[in-house]
Homo-oligomer: A and B are copies of this chain.
């Protein structure tokens, strides 16, 4: 690392992702990350106290990218039903892009996510929170008629698991998957009305 550059947590996470991509989750070490940054491993440990903390932080960063992509659908200038459709299509699209665009990195993060129980459940809470906001707006506008927006949002999130849970990634490239997704969204939107 050039001495003029400051070693931020973000730069360490970037390097960690690159090391994970190259070595895979089983072999990547903190020493590899330090070497990639041209610093000692002690320097990395000053930012992330254990290897597990570093792995959890990089997983969180990866998951946050999806939540940030979706956040704009919560507040966009459309009626709640359209926002819901855009949000669900956006989630499917984001996952497919991650899985198809860089399959090795996707497989790596799928392994990391298995370890990072808390980061994953926080992520799911954040996503269902976004969905709840849209469903609540729909109830307020009269477009939806469900009794409990949070319960309905969780049901919608779970119902669409086939189109965002990484364990189904193999299904996302099959012919007909678009039609299956659309039929499911249609059924769920009808259920919320």
- Give the interface of A toward B (CB within 8 A): 146, 151-152, 154-156, 158-162, 167, 179-180, 183-184, 186-193
Within the complex, the shortest CB–CB distance from A146 to chain B, in Å, comes to 8
Given contacts A187-B192, A190-B191, 16 further A-B contacts (CB under 8 A): A151-B179, A151-B183, A152-B183, A154-B180, A155-B180, A155-B183, A155-B186, A156-B187, A158-B180, A159-B187, A161-B161, A167-B167, A188-B191, A189-B191, A190-B190, A190-B192
Q: List 25 A-B contacts (CB under 8 A).
A: A146-B187, A151-B179, A151-B183, A152-B187, A154-B180, A155-B180, A155-B183, A155-B186, A156-B187, A158-B162, A158-B184, A159-B184, A159-B187, A161-B161, A161-B162, A167-B167, A186-B191, A187-B188, A187-B191, A188-B188, A188-B191, A189-B191, A190-B190, A190-B191, A191-B191
Within the complex, the shortest CB–CB distance from A88 to chain B, in Å, comes to 12
Residues of B within 8 A of A156 (CB): 187
Within the complex, the shortest CB–CB distance from A131 to chain B, in Å, comes to 12
Within the complex, the shortest CB–CB distance from A120 to chain B, in Å, comes to 13
Residues of B within 8 A of A161 (CB): 161-162
Residues of B within 8 A of A192 (CB): 187, 190
The 7 closest A-B pairs by CB, nearest first: A191-B191, A159-B159, A187-B191, A190-B191, A155-B184, A155-B183, A155-B187
